[in-house]
Amino acid sequence: MGYSKHDIHIVDFNPAKGGEMGKLRPAIIMSQDEDNEILSTVIVIPLSTQIESNALPYRFTLSKREKLDKVSDACINEIRSLSKTRIKEKIAKIDADEAKIITQALCELMQ
């Protein structure tokens, strides 16, 4: 299965430890397509249906689309690298403007 940057897939985050997000949930693939082809891991940002308004740079709200059937927050501060074995079906994709906002927020968190 191919994985493309900015696609939203269902991801298995179990087992979770401490305050980590767990369970099967959507996540945005953030790693580069070239890396996704050669590495055994992908970098993802998990989504949550618990919406927190005006929470940038920690969260960014995404509207429903394709098979993402609920408004969801991209939990930018929960970014992580996971084995490709955890990545399931593709359900949607974020657009270029959303990707730019999320990337800028991630850069802000890393300063």
Q: Which domain holds residue 14?
A: 7-110
pTM for the model: 0.95
93: domain CATH number is 2.30.30.110
Instruction: Tell me the per-residue pLDDT of 59-68, one tens digit each, with 9 for 90 and over.
Output: 999 999 999 9
Average pLDDT, the chain: 96
pLDDT for 59 equals 98
Show the tokens assigned to 66: 């394709």
Is the residue at 2 inside a domain? no
Q: Where are the alpha helices (DSSP H) in the chain?
A: 33-38, 96-110
* pLDDT at position 20 over 80: no
Is the residue at 19 inside a domain? yes
Residue 67 and residue 92 in contact, taking contact as beta carbons nearer than 8 Å = yes
Number of structural domains, the chain? 1
